[in-house]
Amino acid sequence: MREINSNDIEVMIAAPFVDTQTQAELLTALQVLLGERGVLLDPSECERYCKGARYGEGKAVAVLRPNSHAQVEELVRLCVTFQQPLLMQGANTGLVAASTPDASASIFVVSLERLKQHLVIDVINRSVEVDAGVCLQELNEALLPHGLFFPIDLAANPSIGGMIATNTGGAKLIRYGDVRQNLLGLRAVLLDPAGAVLDLQTALRKNNTGPDLKQLFVGSSGAFGIITRAVLQLHHLPRQTATALIVPRDQAAVLEILRIFERDCGEFLSAFEGISGAALQAVMRHIPDIQNPFAPEVCPDYCILLELSSSASQDTSGIVLDALLMRMLEPLLDYEVHNAVIGRGKDLWRIRHSISEALRYEGTIIAFDISMPRSAIVEFRAEACAVIQANYPWVKCMDFGHWADGGCHFNLVWPADAANTFDTKLVQQLREQIYDLVVYSYQGSFSAEHGVGPYNQDYYQRYTSDVAKHLAGKIQLLVDPKRLSGLTWFGCT
């Protein structure tokens, strides 16, 4: 359920006006370039490219579907010449409306879904060259026979290009890093000079030969050019994991358990996820085939999903993670840990992955993708819950998150059976109160892993310093002087 639709979003782009006749001329040229299936004009065919996974819904004049690098280069040249605004789209799984057109019906969507011919694995270098349109699951299927994977762990199946434009993080960042930390090289098509190829397609872990220009494109929301290929660092697939659901003595104990695990088996720690009691109860209430891993009728106030993993085989290395986890937990029981269940990873992760679905049964979700220093989480949770309780007592805190990397999905639910009906303006006010708390009181971030797009453009303006916006805007105008690319503006307004 969406609490804001795209019409509420003030889009910061001043789309140049392209008259209908000129646009028709451009479309004819693009049809010659991309072929019949390369240019979609029929609104029913365009529809699926025009609605975001969570927010954003608009209209595109056309959807362009290049299937080669040369086509991308030439279409950029044509569109820039005609001053035609473009919106880059991968698998359209983003959560900030950055890859769906606005309501102006003036934009061309450039979908890279057909740009997926190239996928070359270098097993010795643990790297892969991959076209931007390849999706995460496709990539990981191709890597499976080699015992390798690209370790960004998330529920959706985004394209590699989209993952770079968003700098996806996910649940295993503490072990493997985010997309940025696994990006070795990149190829992008620039808007200025129009269609020029910025070829940074190297597979190097150490390379300090000037400013690292590929960093510009990471987390850019597609505003700086079109990413057409990436070189990614790969990791060995885990061959064993050990997973536990742990009930901490109290909130302070969460951080102590994290510290002890990081110090004494941090090398294997691949997830350390917090789940509030309310979120856990919602899962037990609404997802029928999930068993309560604790004694029936007992639901803890808080729990931690902890995972150790390794590509080591038990036989060769002698490393046995189940035994290690038991050994680590035992001395903590009745001290930092009130209770713990060591279980099948798949079952325990299902609880974590069912939270969003379960929350929808409770009412309308008010989602937050925030982060802060780990040292701030306990105090923030207490203060934020108190703010909600004092000002919006009918709203329920049902948060969960990635403690180890400071990420927090501080999700709230406006219950379906609340006395007052869902109020967009009030939610907006609540949202700003929470963001103000995160950013001003806890030096945190209003967007941990979803990036910036039209959905949180206003928050970008509010929480970014003028000096930073001034510099970011100058860079954006430098790479896109006519403001033709994307719907996100990083400069001052």
Which residues in the 175-204 window bind a second copy by CB under 8 A? 177-178, 180-181, 190, 193, 196-200, 202-204
Amino acid at site 301: D
* Shortest distance, position 222 Cβ to a second copy, whole Å: 12
Cβ-based nearer residue to a second copy, 174 or 355: 174
Is residue 30 a contact point for a second copy (CB under 8 A)?
A: no
* Shortest distance, position 457 Cβ to a second copy, whole Å: 10
Is residue 277 a contact point for a second copy (CB under 8 A)?
A: no
* Shortest distance, position 472 Cβ to a second copy, whole Å: 5
Phi, psi of 4 (to 5 degrees): -130, 130
Is residue 43 a contact point for a second copy (CB under 8 A)?
A: no
Interface pick for a second copy out of 12, 266, 426, 482 (rule CB under 8 A) = 266
What residues between 377 and 416 interact with a second copy by CB under 8 A?
Answer: 402, 405-407
- Paired residues of 135 in beta bridges: 159
Number of residues forming the site for a second copy (CB under 8 A)? 98
Interface pick for a second copy out of 43, 357, 468, 493 (rule CB under 8 A) = 468
Is residue 208 a contact point for a second copy (CB under 8 A)?
A: yes
Residue 62 and residue 389: Cα distance in Å, rounded? 47
Can you spell out the DSSP letters for 283-295?
HHHH-TT---SSS
Cβ-based nearer residue to a second copy, 8 or 212: 212
Q: 188 Cβ partners below 8 Å, 6+ apart? A: 197, 198, 200, 214, 217, 224, 225, 226, 227, 228
State how far Cα 255 lies from the chain centre. 25
Residue 82 and residue 15: Cα distance in Å, rounded? 12
H helix and E strand count, the chain: 17, 21
Interface pick for a second copy out of 151, 451, 454, 486 (rule CB under 8 A) = 451
Is residue 438 a contact point for a second copy (CB under 8 A)?
A: no
Cβ-based nearer residue to a second copy, 27 or 95: 95
* Shortest distance, position 21 Cβ to a second copy, whole Å: 34
Of 254, 296, 303, give the one whose Cα is nearest residue 277. 303
Cβ-based nearer residue to a second copy, 85 or 451: 451
Is residue 58 a contact point for a second copy (CB under 8 A)?
A: no
Contact call for residues 367 and 397 (beta carbons, < 8 A): no
What residues between 89 and 128 interact with a second copy by CB under 8 A?
Answer: 122-127
Which one of 17-25, 57-65, 137-145, 474-482 is the stretch in contact with a second copy (CB under 8 A)? 474-482
What residues between 293 and 332 interact with a second copy by CB under 8 A?
Answer: 310-313, 316-319, 323-324, 327-328, 331
Residue 20 in tokens? 């209908």
Residue 405 and residue 418: Cα distance in Å, rounded? 34
Structure-derived torsion over alpha carbons of residues 427, 432, 437, 442, reported in degrees to the nearest 10: 120
Task: Check residue 97 and give left, alpha or beta (phi > 0: left; psi -120 to 50: alpha).
Answer: left
Roughly how many angstroms between the first and final C-alpha of the chain, as a whole number? 30
Q: 172 Cβ partners below 8 Å, 6+ apart? A: 151, 152, 153, 270, 271
Which one of 64-72, 107-115, 355-363, 372-380 is the stretch in contact with a second copy (CB under 8 A)? 372-380
Is residue 375 a contact point for a second copy (CB under 8 A)?
A: yes
What is the per-residue binding string for a second copy in 217-256, x denoting contact by CB under 8 A?
Answer: -xxx---x-----------x------------------x-
* Shortest distance, position 42 Cβ to a second copy, whole Å: 35
